[in-house]
Amino acid sequence: MLSIISHPECRDHDAGPLHPESKARLDAINNQLIMSGMDYVVRHRDAPLVERAQLERVHDSDYLDRVYALAPGQGMQSVEVDGDTVMSPGTLRAAERAAGAGVLGVDLVMSNEANPVFCMIRPPGHHAERDKAMGFCLFNNIAVAAAHALDAHDLSRVAIIDFDVHHGNGTEEIFKTEPRVLFCSSFQHPFYPFTGHEKETDNLVDIPLSAGAGSAEFREAVSAHWLPHLKAFKPEFLFISAGFDAHVADDMSSVQLTDADYEWVTRELKAVADEFADGRIVSMLEGGYEPDVLARSVVKHLNVLLG
């Protein structure tokens, strides 16, 4: 059964009234789940707080000390961690829930209590590097989950697929020398965070997309680059950094994907998971900043995962 992991505290992260990464994103997804009828065929679970040891698998201890020291208490003003990453009084708990969701998702899938799992969380995570917050991200949620699968469940090959319109620089930086992790990313280039370029190694497959690229370019790149590497790697677990900001109706970027593209790529990834990983999938929300389009795209994504 498909399980959705979230927590009310994920709504308490407040980056400011004009910031695109707002609680309205989760509210829109919840509403769309109800309107689509999907809410009645999934199981909802509360995200736990991540443990410090789980964070330290992918983040430097000194960095974590700085984050916890910066976190404002209740009634205090928000603080800037970098130019676009803000911590409000509710941010630290939200980030702990976001990272904890992925850990729980892995445990549920590995114990056959749920599969697949979607982590409906915020703040997102894929820009957070080992010792640096950036791009709205404090903890690298997908990296925490993947490291938990490797270390707590003794897996030897996991794949992370990132179709957010921004390069998953943090995930790549954390795992670039880790042969047990295959990281595949598509992204608009040149574009924030101005990292990444065309790259194919044994464990890194980057697909830069030009501004204006659409369905044909995206699907061709996935078919020609991601899928052969995934099939050769034979992952035992598939993680998805599910960002929906490459949608043509999302003003965050100039890539022009559609609802059908998210259905298609999810179907292709699910086929890989079914063939090599006993269907094991944990998908985690990253970007997507036009709430109605985000909600619709997420439900398309989940419909395919639900089968």
Q: Quick check: helix, strand or coil at residue 39?
A: helix
- Give the single-character DSSP code of 293: H
List helix spans (H) across 77-205. Answer: 91-110, 141-152, 169-175
Two tokens at 177?
A: 């020398």
* Whole-angstrom distance, CA of residue 156 vs CA of residue 50: 23
Q: Are 218 and 263 in contact (CB under 8 A)?
A: no
Catalytic residue among 127, 167, 229, 301: 127
Count how many Cα atoms sit within 13 Å of the Cα of residue 208 in the half-sphere of its side chain: 14
Relative to beta strand 117-119, strand 281-285 is parallel
Phi, psi of 163 (to 5 degrees): -110, 20
- Give the single-character DSSP code of 71: P
Question: What count of other Cβ atoms lies within 10 Å of the Cβ of residue 138?
Answer: 31
User: Measuring CA to CA, which residue among 10, 98, 107 is closest to residue 49?
Assistant: 98
Sign of the four-CA dihedral 171, 176, 182, 187? positive
Q: Are 176 and 155 in contact (CB under 8 A)?
A: no
Does the annotation count 127 as an active-site position? Answer: yes
- Give the single-character DSSP code of 254: S
Q: Where in the sequence numbering do the catalytic residues fall?
A: 127
